Structure 1
Amino acid sequence: MTEPPQDAKADAPERRTLLQEMGGISGLIYSTVPVLVFVLVNSVSSLNPAIWAALGSAAVITVVRIVRKQSLQPAISGFFGVAIAAFIAYRTGSAKGFFLFGIWASLVYGSLFGLSILIRWPLVGVIWGALNGHGQKWRSDRRAMFAYDLATLSWAVVFGARFVVQRWLYDEDLTGWLAFARIAMGWPLTAAALAVTLWAVRRAGHLVRQLAEQAEADDQAVEAKLRAKYGQPASESGAG
């Protein structure tokens, strides 16, 4: 059987790790369930039943992940996100309040990603290096930096678009369209930003490996010149 190219082998763990950090494909889909449940129950009943139904669906998703032995971090963070959204809806007494936390969270995340580009520490590169122990060697290569800038910019645009559109729908009291926008601008846009991120990770990883190989070759060249000029090191010349 023909072995897959080395670059393909190196890229596969990157793809799996990034998806796992977001809860996988199932995690992206699960994130829409409490929103759908909330909107449906609120449309046929009232606010309080909708709040409890959304919380219940989030709890069920958490239990399902435990039973399937899947990553709990996305499930737990998702449950607390639903709980905060439900609390805001309860306090405001309005169904649209359920989406307020996500709207302002998008503004915060978008600002952080955008700011990280301006200060020359693009968050995608920083996070990826921390998750995989690669460090920040990529910052020494302008091409790798550019790749991570583009990936970080894609996330800033996604979060920024979510804030602008959903904030406008919130101000216009268009709760039904707000729910639609929350779902439509959820995992589809996340998948698009993730595709750019995967490209950046592969690109930057390849460039960093090139830097390491070039540094090693330079060291060997310097050592060869020193040996040619001064002869064998004392440790080798006296070995015989």
Structure 2
Amino acid sequence: MAETKKRTGLGALADAGSDDDFSVIDAIGGPRGVAESMVPGVVFVVLFVTTANLQLTIGISAALAVLQVIVRLLQRQSVMGAVSGLLAVGICLIWAWQSHEARNYYMFGFLTNAFYIVLLSVSLMVRVPGLGLVIEFIRTLPTEHFRAWLTDWRSDKALNRAYTIITVLWIAVFSLRLVVQVPLYVTNHVGWLGTTRLLMGIPFWALAIWVSYLIVATPMHRHKALSEGSGQGKHDSMEEQH
């Protein structure tokens, strides 16, 4: 039997209510995924700090990002993660190259964090917690009856409360990144900025996913059990009528 590929990121949280063991390492992409996401940033900051040559730093960082995609292609593995990483790194490198300032390598990250803060905050204002919306969409993928799908999980007070809490948690993570890193950007401390970016990247991502799992696993499991029980009850009732 083929092994089911485990989902990563919020997709892993969508499986939180199942009986499968939850793994933070798997949720953040496994050792290889962690390495591929961290290496370009490490290379950029180390090269720039040691050489102070922005053009050399950009060139080597770009070559490394392309190499990651080529390796996956040669190994006939999924390249989606590597390609998305290449796109993100490419935007950062182009920004630094055009501005001739190494610190602008991190500007795209600031903008994406600010975007997520605004988006998730708006979701709380309209009482549809953003993390819940994404996780439930991944979990059940509504193709019709959207209103019924939305009401189903929002009417579960425990589950909706859990989604609200983790949405606030992720807003806090994105906000803390900006609070710590923006002053380093403004004062042009590229070395410290790169270091804090790495420390507040994958480690914070892993911590946010783990804490989110602890918060949503139980109410999600109960909601799934109730939904399956309700569905089975309707099925039995229809059989009795026939």
Tell me the TM-score range normalised by the shorter chain: 0.7 to 0.9
**Equivalent pairs, count:** 217
Moved more, 94-103 or 125-134: 125-134
What is residue 18 of structure 2 aligned with on the other side? Answer: 10
Change (3 A) 1:19 1:129: farther
2:98 to 91, 111, 120: 91
What is residue 213 of structure 2 aligned with on the other side? Answer: 198
Residues 124 and 197 of structure 1 are in contact (CA less than 8 Å); yes or no, is this contact kept in structure 2? no
Q: Find the aligned partners of 1:199 and 1:71 in 2 and give their Cα distance.
A: 29
Q: Quote how far apart the aligned CAs of 1:175 are.
A: 0.8
Change (3 A) 1:54 1:124: same
Q: Find the aligned partners of 2:110 and 2:176 in 1 and give their Cα distance.
A: 10
Q: Find the aligned partners of 1:188 and 1:54 in 2 and give their Cα distance.
A: 22
Q: Find the aligned partners of 2:127 and 2:190 in 1 and give their Cα distance.
A: 38
Secondary structure of the residue that 1:43 maps to in structure 2? helix
Change (3 A) 1:151 1:11: farther
Residues 72 and 79 of structure 2 are in contact (CA less than 8 Å); yes or no, is this contact kept in structure 1? yes
Residues 34 and 54 of structure 1 are in contact (CA less than 8 Å); yes or no, is this contact kept in structure 2? yes
Q: Quote how far apart the aligned CAs of 1:92 are.
A: 1.1
Q: Find the aligned partners of 2:41 and 2:159 in 1 and give their Cα distance.
A: 38
Residues 104 and 163 of structure 1 are in contact (CA less than 8 Å); yes or no, is this contact kept in structure 2? no
Q: Quote how far apart the aligned CAs of 1:95 are.
A: 0.9
2:33 to 23, 27, 33: 27
Q: Find the aligned partners of 2:98 and 2:132 in 1 and give their Cα distance.
A: 39
What is residue 183 of structure 2 aligned with on the other side? Answer: 168
Change (3 A) 1:130 1:218: closer
Identical-pair percentage: 30
With the length of structure 1 as denominator, give the TM-score of the two structures.
0.78
Moved more, 60-69 or 105-114: 60-69
The letter of the residue matching 1:31 is S
Q: Find the aligned partners of 1:130 and 1:16 in 2 and give their Cα distance.
A: 21
Residues 38 and 50 of structure 1 are in contact (CA less than 8 Å); yes or no, is this contact kept in structure 2? yes
Q: Find the aligned partners of 2:65 and 2:232 in 1 and give their Cα distance.
A: 54
Does residue 1:75 correspond to 2:90, yes or no? no
Q: Find the aligned partners of 2:133 and 2:196 in 1 and give their Cα distance.
A: 30
Residues 124 and 152 of structure 1 are in contact (CA less than 8 Å); yes or no, is this contact kept in structure 2? yes
Q: Quote how far apart the aligned CAs of 1:8 are.
A: 9.2
Q: Quote how far apart the aligned CAs of 1:217 are.
A: 8.7
Q: Quote how far apart the aligned CAs of 1:144 are.
A: 0.2
What per-residue deviation string (whole Å, max 9, x for no partner) do you get for residues 94-151 of structure 1?
Answer: 1111111111211111222232222222222222222232654321201000111122
Change (3 A) 1:218 1:185: same
What is residue 73 of structure 2 aligned with on the other side? Answer: 66
